[in-house]
Amino acid sequence: MPKISEVIKGDQTRIIDAYHGLIAAEPEDRAPDVFIWALTRYLIIENLALLPALEHHLSSGGERQKRLSDDYDSIHTKLRHMVLFDPSEESFVSALRAIWVDLEPHFKEENRRDLGELESKLGPDESEALGKKYETLRDILQKPYGKEGVPDPETLKDVLSTSKQELMERMGMAGV
């Protein structure tokens, strides 16, 4: 069973690959839904699995939770902005790059600092249990769309237009 840091890094790799695929694609071939869904799903699960663990296990967990929550808000806002543009427009690429301005340092800081410190506080069994929780949440969010599928455009739009608090309430996880 993978540790929490391995599971998170796997999702980060999927998001990074989807981002670079969008940047490299010809304007008429850009299909952003995979990137949007992978990133949205990651942000939701991070709030449900990683943030509570950081807050519980690290002395500076509350501070980190606030920083990561601010990152979520900024990235989520930029995603909502990006979907206003047709993927073939240059404005879409500009909006996509604006997301990357927040996302790249978010990933780097999480990998360089948060995950390493968290792993040092967790035993192997705890880390694997948290990794399993993360994977279970990902599977729950992915289940209606199949292993590689993404929600239909209306569902994606609905998820992006919903506040983090309301989204957690809809999922029955308010206060988690």
Per-residue pLDDT at 157 exceeds 80: no
Tell me the percentage of the chain whose pLDDT exceeds 90.
55
Q: Does residue 62 lie in a domain region?
A: yes
Q: Is residue 51 part of a domain?
A: yes
| Per-residue model confidence (pLDDT) at position 176 | 45
In a domain, 36, yes or no: yes
Q: What is the extent of the structural domain holding 161?
A: 4-169
Q: Report the domain count for the chain.
A: 1
Residue 27 forms part of a structural domain = yes
Residue 22 has pLDDT above 50, yes or no: yes
H/E stretch holding 63 reads helix 61-82
Model confidence at 143: pLDDT above 60: yes
Average pLDDT value for residue range 7-27: 96
Phi, psi values for residue 149, rounded to 5°: -80, 165
Does some domain include residue 174? no
Tell me how far apart the alpha carbons of residues 54 and 65 are, in angstroms, rounded to a whole number: 7
pLDDT tens per residue, range 97-110: 999 999 999 999 99
Our CA dihedral for 114, 120, 123, 126, rounded to 10 degrees, sits at 0
176 found inside a domain: no
Is 175 inside a domain boundary?
no
Q: Considering the entire predicted model, what is its pTM?
A: 0.87
Average pLDDT over residues 132-161: 81
Mean pLDDT of all residues in 111-134: 93
What value does the mean pLDDT take over residues 169-173?
Answer: 63
Instruction: Look at residue 43 and tell me if it is in a domain.
Output: yes
How large is the angle between the packed helices 153-161 and 61-82, nearest 10 degrees?
Answer: 130
* pLDDT at residue 36 is higher than 70: yes
